[in-house]
Structure 1
Amino acid sequence: MMRTVKGRVVGDTSQRDNQDASNQQYAGDLVRLLVKQGFTDWFYCPGSRDAPLGYALNHLAASHRLDLHVRIDERDAAFMALGAARAGHPAVLVMTSGTAVGNALPAVMEAAHAGLALLVLSADRPAALRGTGANQTTWQPGIFGDFVRFAADIQPGITPAELQDTVSAAAAACQGESASPHPATAEKHFPLPGPVHINASFIEPLAPPETIEAFATRAARTNASEEPFDPHQAPRGTLLIAGDLSDATYADLREAVKNAGIPVLAEPQTAWRRHSNAVRAYAKAAGTTLAAVAEHNLERVIVAGRPTLTRPITRLISRRDIPVETVGTPGTTVNLAGNIARQWEDASTLACELAKAAQPSQGSAPRRPDAEAPESWLEMWRVAGEKAAATLTQDWGFHSAAQVIWDSTMYSPEPVDLFLGASLTIRVFDAVARNSAPNPIPDPPRADVLMPRASRENPAQPDSSTPAQAINPQVSTCDAHRVFTNRGLAGIDGTIASAWGAALARRQPMRLVFGDVSFFHDLGALCHGSAEEVPNLQVIVINNGGGRIFGGLEHGAAPADTFTRMFLTPQVGDVCGLARAVGWQPERVDSLAGLVSALAQPVRGLSLLEIVLPPA
């Protein structure tokens, strides 16, 4: 056992092989031990990393051994748990890793000063991933400081005895029965009972074995029609993978990558996505069509910034059998597996090296018997990516809607910015975003044509449907068509507020695109003071009936009732009605033609566009 200032780290994976229990056993034991200590009111916020706890809670709730409540907003769930504690029922708040944990701080502070029995149970990535740039990984142990009476950081491999001791100590501290009360109870004048924090790390797989098996079977059927490339007949080469915090301002590196024929696998918010070698739907291609090629023919990987979106890319940058190099300053790059062969802080030096080291295999390759086979490493990736993107967008759905939104926004004559929500939204745009405009892109209607007649005839007297304080869209000295997203910890918290702030700062029209769960998560940001300036902001809600990102993970193969309640979490509420109630101009579309028509309107004032997708 290792002591820390705020608690203890138990079951450190560097000291013990994970052979004592599976994730499901570990999570189930933890929940059952807390129930035995009297914690029978549980407030659960869905996520992937806390999924083992979710499965355990759902099972025990079905047998009436605890009361389970599912909420999508961790801050709301924390205060609901606080309310239960205030009513005399010691409560547990469960959430996934990342910013989700920080949302509990206000409720924890209240519980600390009020002496209420609130237990925060946060899921986490393994400790070894902290400080590596891994997605949704931060320093959760100690996050609540002296506001908690006890804190423990437990890791996979914890023994049953250690788990029992940790839970007993946490329960005693929460109820004010600890033999050694936290120093803060005296130093900060806190009551003796109070909140505690258990941070529990989980490693993959995060679903029960039967769910994982069902998902694998379903994936095999889905990919059965794929025709993979033969690695023995394919060229070999290098990849440049660009993620958040990547810098594409060095012209010499961009030129060297172009001349060397290096495919660029870039996330949509990065400037690298506009590179001439950028590949669409690269993650889909790397995970299916080009899987064998990526496994056997990849000679070198150059990573710029922090790619965090997809598992195929995570696997590529975690390989130890090929050189994986990073370009960028420390803190802006990833090192998920301790496998980085070289760190390039000087992009110009890397550019010179690429120019010198360019190999013929990165240019043309012998033509295959198939007349349509690609003739180069770059072309092979491009063709596979375009085929994947075409398949994804052939029917009306999230991908085809995203394609239209990207094209109409990024290639419109009027400068318009784009803010992409986390979770499924940015991954969909990652698949379909083009690096050049399709031909043709129609000009949007003139703003004066779309204004009400009274406003055209007397501009000094704007129509009431146009907010009087709306920012003048012509006031813009910044570069046009930027893409924003919150990828530091990739949370869905405050997405509307973030886009609002960016639009105020940029002083040009902004479109925010995200899912319905993210919309309901940040409803409060729709409101504003009557005397406040408002941006030209269009909120586009892709309403696909809940958290569909989980359908693409193993949890999508869970029993329907479990998946719906613990992961999909469809919400009650009228998106357009809620927007209208606080002064926004809403519109609902349910077809590609309707979407194209709606996007032809200029972004003025506060408007909301709800895109209703057919049931999955």
Structure 2
Amino acid sequence: MTIPPAVTVARALVADLITRGVQDVVLAPGSRSAPLAYAVAEAADVGRVTLHVRIDERAAGFLALGLSKGAEGAPVAVVTTSGTAVANLHPAVLEASHTGLPLILLTADRPHELRGTGASQTTDQVGIFGTAVRFAVDVPAPSDAGTPAAPPGTAPGTAPGTAPGTAPGTPPSTEPEPGTASAQQLRDLRSVTGRAVSAALGFRSGHPGPVHLNLAFRDPLAPSAPLPGPTADTAQDGCPKPDPPLVVPAVLQHFASPALPGDPARTVVVAGDGAGPEARQLAEAQGWPLFAEPSSGATGGPNAIAAYRALLGSEELAESIEQVVVLGRPTLSRPVQRLLGRPSVAVTVIAPGAGPWPDAARNAAVVLPGVAPVWFEAAAPEPTGFLEQWRAAGVRASLVLDEVTCDEAVIGGPTALSVARAVAGVLGPEDLLVVGSSNPVRDLELVLGLDGPGPAVLANRGLAGIDGTVSTAVGVALAAARRGLRTRALLGDLTFLHDVGGLLRGPDEPSVDLEVVVVNDDGGSIFATLEHGALAATGSGASATFERVFGTPHGSNLAQLCAGYGVDHQLVKDVPTLRHALQAPSHGIQVIEVRVPRADRLTESRDLVGRIVEGGAPPR
């Protein structure tokens, strides 16, 4: 059987990615990407990779992102055809870039002779993701022996008849069979994939993220007969290994014991998204208060301060802070950003790798590549008056939150805050919770820890968008199940509707267990808590304008939507029933809808913050 060059190259590429650690491939169907589809299906049939098929490229991108999150940063490949299919990956690529997740984008393209000719589904895909990718290359179409592969300029450093990275005039190492790609082309391709995977994982830069291989394919795109299939233990001989991490001991030694500006006795740790457990360990080793976002990976412990966002509204408490150490990316709180921007506060940012450091307030005094080991060596310091002051304020804030979210307080019907508490209270450390942007993640931040340690929390906080969250949660659930973890999601109604297509999966796709709690207030209540809501509260025409362009009521019937996707739906009317539903065994994807009011969100939010600030203020 003669295998066309496009299929030969695709098989070699997929096999190479598998040897470099890719365990999941998400595929959106298309004709130009057919060589990759055949190759991935062939590898999946013998258990060398797990294939996930989705018809929507945007959902496919976010599914891959969730798979990487759930597998704690494993590389995941995404395959699309040409044209708008590629552009639909862009939101997920941006999120992966800002979060540092290693997606490998394999986008099929027309060969050079069809570009710029008006050929169907052909656009300029080279550099389409701009600076959002860590590595990008336009790989010319493979060719038969003696057939020019591409004219000069098709890819950087590429000469006619060569693949990227090949010196002009380099002869193939072996004579290829007619109709197959040359051994030199395959060797060059493996070199490119090696660089791509190394860049995706941040081996040299410490800055992982998405990479883009734009792969031109020339007809024929399908084998003339079914492929024989690789054996389960097939590997690519001679595959170069990814580059090792680049470590410069002298640089790390330089920061082994940095002098911190400000008064260490009046220091707090701010743990933003992705900070990791180091933030909590640092706070406890040094005896500092900890302000931890839900997706920081650092929540809990004796130094975690409940409702710190609201407590920063207390002038006396806020003014007591002289130094802040920041880990991860703080994204939730305007009060925290105001704290970080105060000229009187010394800000130290921990920013590993070669990526940009988080300093939206442009006030960082010191930027360090890591936490100095000496900072963890404190011998269980006695709590200072500063720490005890913040702890006491946090305890008083917790009492206020308990009072407004307990079952007796919401007997007339659940509130968004009581729903978040019920979800966090039911789940434990063996669970994962994917939380949506806007109000759900902020509600969760207030109540996480009221009823125990709670679950590990994941969120798309790279750009804090609402798109793709259902698909992300599905990907997390698929990957987490391999680790024996159960996944739930807490989303607002607009976030759910924005990616409702993420519920769609074919009957042959890997099964997934996921409960999605949708807090449905028929619109975008987050805007009511911002300045737009305050303007609307003045009455007159401002209220109607707010409702149409910010509140955006939709009136959608979520039960009917779920039925159309073949997904179970349950409407829950009180908090005890919600807890029961979350504790019951689940199979497949289930949507649990909880309807809450939106009209009084601004007033309730202001009243709650006022009570927390008043209760949390130090006694005079």
When the two structures are superposed, what TM-score results if normalisation uses the length of structure 1? 0.50
1:425 aligns with 2:440: yes
Matched AA of 2:447: V
Q: Secondary structure at the match of 2:329?
A: coil
Q: SS at 1:567's partner residue?
A: helix
Contact kept, 8 Å, 1:422 with 1:485, in 2: the verdict is yes
Is the 2:351–2:358 contact (alpha carbons within 8 Å) kept by the matching residues of 1?
Answer: no
Cα pair 2:322 2:346 within 8 Å, conserved: yes
1:262 to 288, 300, 313: 288
- Does residue 292 of structure 1 match 2:311? no
**Does 2:392 correspond to 1:380?**
yes
Cα distance, 1:553–1:350 mapped onto 2, change above 3 Å: farther
Equivalences for 1:526-565 in 2 at 5 Å?
A: 526-556=503-533, 557-558=535-536, 559-565=542-548
Q: What residue number does 2:615 align with? A: none
Q: Distance in 2 between matches of 1:606 and 1:312?
A: 37
Would you say 1:566 and 2:549 are equivalent positions? yes
Q: Which residue of 1 aligns with 2:78?
A: none
Q: Secondary structure at the match of 1:603?
A: coil
Tell me how far apart the structure 1 counterparts of residues 531 and 426 of structure 2 sit (CA, whole Å): 34
Corresponding residue of 1:313 = 336
Distance 2:339 2:505 in 1: 45
Q: Which has the higher contact order (CA 8 A, sep 6+)?
A: 2
Change (3 A) 1:332 1:262: farther
For residues 449-460 of structure 1, the aligned pairs below 5 Å read none
Shift of 1:599: 1.9
Cα displacement string for residues 249-287 of structure 1 (whole angstroms, at most 9, x for unaligned residues): x4xx7455225431111011222103331122111121x
Question: Which stretches in structure 1 are left out of the alignment for 5+ residues?
Answer: 1-74, 77-94, 107-111, 116-137, 141-234, 366-374, 439-479
2:423 equivalent to 1:405: yes
Aligned to 1:239: 268
Shift of 1:355: 6.5
What are the equivalent positions in structure 2 for 1:326-365 lying under 5 Å apart?
326-330=349-353, 331=355, 333-349=357-373, 351=375, 363-364=384-385
Alpha-carbon displacement from aligned partner over 1:529-583 (angstroms, at most 9, x marks no partner): 1111221111111101111000000111331211111111111321112112221
Question: Structure 1 515/487 Cα, relative in aligned 2: closer, same or farther at 3 Å?
Answer: same
Tell me the distance in 2 between the aligned counterparts of 1:139 and 1:385: 43
Residue identity opposite 2:446 in structure 1: A
Give CA-to-partner distance per residue, 1:106-139, whole Å, 9 cap, x none.
Answer: 9xxxxx9989xxxxxxxxxxxxxxxxxxxxxx97
* Alignment partners' CA distance in 2, 1:484 and 1:418: 6
- 2: CA distance between counterparts of 1:332 and 1:282? 26
2:460 paired residue among 458, 473, 486? 486
8 Å contact from structure 2 (residues 309, 333) kept in 1: yes
Residue 520 in structure 1 maps to residue 541 in structure 2 = no
Displacement of 1:317: 1.6
What displacement does 1:316 show?
A: 1.2
Cross-structure match for 1:613: 596
Whole-Å separation in 1 of the counterparts to 2:450 and 2:297 = 10
Counterpart CA distance in 2 for 1:613 and 1:291 is: 33
Q: Secondary structure at the match of 1:307?
A: coil
Structure 1 residue 275 corresponds to structure 2 residue 301: yes
Change (3 A) 1:416 1:315: same
Is contact 2:339-2:345 (8 Å) kept?
A: no
- The equivalent residue for 1:154 is none
Counterparts of 1:311 and 1:524 in 2: how far apart (Å)? 32
| Contact kept in structure 1, 2:281 and 2:376, CA below 8 Å | no
- Find the aligned partners of 1:293 and 1:564 in 2 and give their Cα distance: 36
8 Å Cα contact 2:431/2:487 also seen in 1: yes
8 Å Cα contact 2:337/2:361 also seen in 1:
no
| Equivalent-residue separation in structure 2 for 1:526 and 1:501 (angstroms) | 11
Q: Which amino acid aligns with 2:567?
A: W
Q: TM-score, normalised by structure 2?
A: 0.50
CA contact 2:303–2:391 (8 Å) conserved in 1: no
- Please state whether the residue corresponding to 1:496 is helix, strand or coil: helix
1:515, 1:541 within 8 Å by CA — same for their partners in 2?
A: yes
Q: CA deviation at 1:609?
A: 0.4
Relative to structure 1, is the Cα distance of residues 245 and 596 closer, same or farther in structure 2, using a 3 angstrom cutoff? closer
- How many residues align? The count is 348
Percent of matched pairs sharing the same residue: 31
